[in-house]
Amino acid sequence: QNLWLPTGSRRAHSPATMKTHRLLLAAAVLCLSLPAARAGFFDEIKADLTGPAVTGSPKYVALYFSAHWCPPCRAFTPKLVEWYKGFKATHPDFELVFVSGDRSAADMENYIKEAGMPWPAVAFDKARSETFGQFSARGIPYLVLIGPDGKALTAQPGNEWQPPQMVLQKIEKLVPAGS
């Protein structure tokens, strides 16, 4: 039975037409078996962000978990702002994203303004979603670098907390300059 003919059709295809149909079928099967091109992590979270617009699609994203009510966070954030301004200038494939642990959207906005954070933030109502929660640790301030494949590059096993200054050193080694 010829699978390429409508049911009940009596017309036969030429050998050349059948060969073309087989090649098209093989190509379709091959395309279905290839892994789909995955959007980068930044592209996946872009709709959840507020604040300064980011041009392009950075390959490396550092998530900064912090909150205004946290004294160690308020002490570290100015250092992070200074570091970011220097690092970002030479690393266009990098972006930092604030993930707030504040108690309200107003507290989050006040913290962003008070600290002068020049990077985007996850919208307050999205900050506790699984997308970001999977990368969080039990303590803040916490910083984790996400690679182009959406996997954490600097996390400890079990997302164990580590000092953000240590993570900055890892980021400097992992993210290529000028890329």
46-70 in b/e form (b: 16+ CB < 10 A) is eebbebeeeeeebbbbbbbbbbbeb
**pLDDT (tens digit per residue) in 134-155:** 888 889 999 999 998 899 999 8
**pLDDT (tens digit per residue) in 35-62:** 334 458 898 999 999 998 888 889 999 9
**pLDDT (tens digit per residue) in 84-133:** 999 999 999 999 999 999 999 999 999 999 999 999 999 999 998 888 88
Q: Cα separation of 152 and 160, whole Å?
A: 12
The mean pLDDT value of the chain amounts to 83
Non-local (6+) Cβ contacts of 59 within 8 A are 40, 42, 93, 94, 147, 148, 179
